[in-house]
Amino acid sequence: MSEYKISVVKDFSKRPYGRYPDDGDGCGQYFRANLLAPKLREYDKVHVDLDGYNRYGRSFLDEAFGGLIREEGFTWEDLQRKLTYSHSLVKSIENLIKDRIDAAGGKGK
């Protein structure tokens, strides 16, 4: 089984911010389209390490993670099987990612 680990601050941007390219090079759309989605297609499992930055915005997380379903053709089930993520200090970031994936996949409350 092939596995890949992405460190957002080391592999993408020290200050990830915003949803779309108008928000800057560290936006969620670029993270999803240029790094996360390609790795999810290439590997059986991908882990996203969010440590090193504590101010992830909802717009970045929604576009990066929820956008996998809305824009990239992944299903909720695909992501449950293939994607893991963690932030060792701010667990609410993990909860927000779960919420954005669930909402995009029709699994919301």
Specify which residues 98 forms β-bridges with. none
Query: What was the pLDDT predicted at 109?
Result: 53
pLDDT tens by residue, 9-35: 999 999 999 999 999 999 999 999 999
- Separation of alpha carbons 28 and 16, rounded Å: 7
Say how far apart CA 8 and CA 72 lie, in whole Å: 19
Q: pLDDT for 57-88, tens place per residue? A: 999 999 999 999 999 999 999 999 999 999 99
* Confidence at residue 37, expressed as pLDDT on a 0 to 100 scale: 98
pLDDT at site 107 = 87
